[in-house]
Amino acid sequence: MRERTAWILGGIAAALPIAGLLVWLNLDGDSGSVEIPFLPESPAAPSHPRLQVLDEPGRWESESSASNAVVTNRNTCHLDARWGLNGHCLFLEEKVFSPSGAITYEFAVKHYNAEINMYHYTVVQDDGYVRGFVGNWKVGAGRLEWESVYLPGAPEDVVQRMNEMQLAPGKRETRVEITRAGQLEGSAITQAARKGSAPTELPAVPATPELARLGRGGVWNESETSTLNGESETIRMTGRARWTPGGRALLYEGVITGQEEDQYFMWIKTYDRESGVYRFIHFHTDGPVDHFEGKWEEASKTITWRSIQPPGEYLIRETFVSTSHRNWHVEAYDDKGQRYYSADGESRLKE
């Protein structure tokens, strides 16, 4: 069993944060701001009205209390909510303060999956652990109900549920329950209030050497050639990478260029310090979320990513030529283990 509290009491606003190394710098030394057509840095509104039920953009301040059979923890949190990926996603940047003085960071993404008509909520914790939820908006009740669908390493009978309630304009309450085999293991409650506009975010740098391997912030130009059923196609992409506050994860927002219609995509990469694995989250615009785990190979400067959700479908070998140049090879397999798709790509930082 995984000996950590990530699945037992990991809740909204990091109900029981795991203390980690604080690294917060205000200069990253990367290339300056470059505008990308069709991909503004700070979208002013959501891409669809259905996203308006999510947290209102701005600075939120909250107080949380989390308990299990033996301990109760309390903390406070500053959360900055802002739209991303041209309004298709809501980014939640949390800075959590514990009574001991420890500071931890979380980064979360909320978006809508039109394929299943449900919302997604993906959380990257301070230590690199990742949790995934799906949820529904309860019309008339002013409430979003979430249930865990991705808790890597947790026992199969562990379930985490959250209810986010809109109490009044600028006032929200979140209740969390974690059960195992139907028995309550822990609970948490968070009261949050909106305090105004979110301040301009400061640049960050990777918090650990393991994270620094993933590359740099800035604008990247990419190309990928794929083969499906014997037919080849090359696409070109442009994207913006940045380190999330506290330097715990690398966030990338991209757009496929030269298409009749704008096609967006996004990913997050982080390092799980306790498990010693890299985590890669790929977001399909208005669609599902794919989760990968990877191991670093020092001799070749390569991470081999294996898909965990959906299980076993994709294999990616990503080589980091330098902090401003990387390439990759992708293979996809059907349920019989037969390869049906492959692709090779390259990405370079726009200096």
Average pLDDT over residues 194-223: 94
pLDDT at residue 198 tops 50: yes
Residue 289, SS3?
A: strand
The residue written with tokens 């420890």 in the block is 102
In the chain, what are the domains?
6-26+37-196 (2.40.128.20), 209-349 (2.40.128.20)
When the pLDDT of each residue in the chain is averaged and rounded to a whole number, the result is: 88
pLDDT at 35: 67
Per the CB < 8 A criterion, the answer to whether 201 and 18 are in contact is no
CA–CA dist 316, 13 (Å, integer): 32
Q: What's at 29, amino acid-wise?
A: G
Q: DSSP secondary structure string, 95-146?
A: EEE-TTS-EEEEEEEEEEETTTTEEEEEEE-TTS-EEEEEEEEETTTTEEEE
Per the CB < 8 A criterion, the answer to whether 90 and 51 are in contact is yes
Per the CB < 8 A criterion, the answer to whether 26 and 203 are in contact is yes
CA–CA dist 246, 111 (Å, integer): 23
pLDDT at 141: 87
CA–CA dist 58, 92 (Å, integer): 10
pLDDT at residue 220 tops 90: yes
Give the percent of the chain with pLDDT over 90: 77
Task: Give the global pTM.
Answer: 0.89
By CB atoms closer than 10 A (0-12, 13-18, 19+), residue 186 is: buried
By CB atoms closer than 10 A (0-12, 13-18, 19+), residue 233 is: exposed
Q: How far apart, in Å, are the Cα atoms of 77 and each of 24, 288, 332?
A: 16, 29, 41
Q: What are the residues facing 89 on neighbouring strands? A: 84, 111
Q: Which two tokens stand for residue 289?
A: 């979320």
pLDDT at residue 74 tops 70: yes
CA–CA dist 109, 181 (Å, integer): 28
CB atoms within 10 A of CB 347: 22
